[in-house]
Homo-oligomer: A and B are copies of this chain.
Amino acid sequence: MSYYEVRKTLREFMAEREWQQFHTSENLIKSVAVEAGELLECAQWGGEPDPDKVQEELADVLTYCYLLADKMGWEPEQVILQKLEATRLKYPPEKSRGLSTKYDEL
């Protein structure tokens, strides 16, 4: 299935419920953060997180990310790839190999 079909499915789902009215960019941003908190709950006490719960919560984070991207007129995978190019410059392999250090401390 292509991105355009996923977007169409999401748009129809929201239109059927008249939920687009709640989907300001700010509300979608808050929603990404709310769902990221629920995803984090899967790992709250350490140990291996339950894959079923992780999948459910990851779905919610991704859905709001996709709705936000659509709201802003962006394609999610383009957004990922574009940022990756910037990250490439900040973290050249020879300086960052095997390190989790933030670029401003490299």
By a beta-carbon cutoff of 8 Å, the part of chain A in contact with chain B is 1, 3, 6, 9-10, 13, 16-19, 21-22, 24-27, 29-46, 48-49, 51, 54-56, 58-63, 65-66, 68-69, 72, 74, 76-77, 79-84, 86-88, 91, 93, 96-98, 100
B25, B42, B61: the one contacting A65 at CB < 8 Å is B61
Nearest first, the 4 closest Cβ-Cβ pairs linking A and B are A37-B37, A59-B83, A36-B36, A45-B100
CB distance from A22 to the nearest CB of B (A): 5
Chain copies in complex: 4
B36, B84, B88, B93: the one contacting A32 at CB < 8 Å is B36
CB distance from A66 to the nearest CB of B (A): 6
B3, B55, B79, B87: the one contacting A77 at CB < 8 Å is B3
CB distance from A73 to the nearest CB of B (A): 9
Would A51 and B72 count as touching, CB distance under 8 A? yes
Known: A13-B84, A34-B40. 11 other contacts (CB 8 A): A3-B77, A13-B87, A17-B98, A22-B45, A25-B54, A29-B42, A30-B40, A35-B36, A58-B65, A58-B74, A66-B80
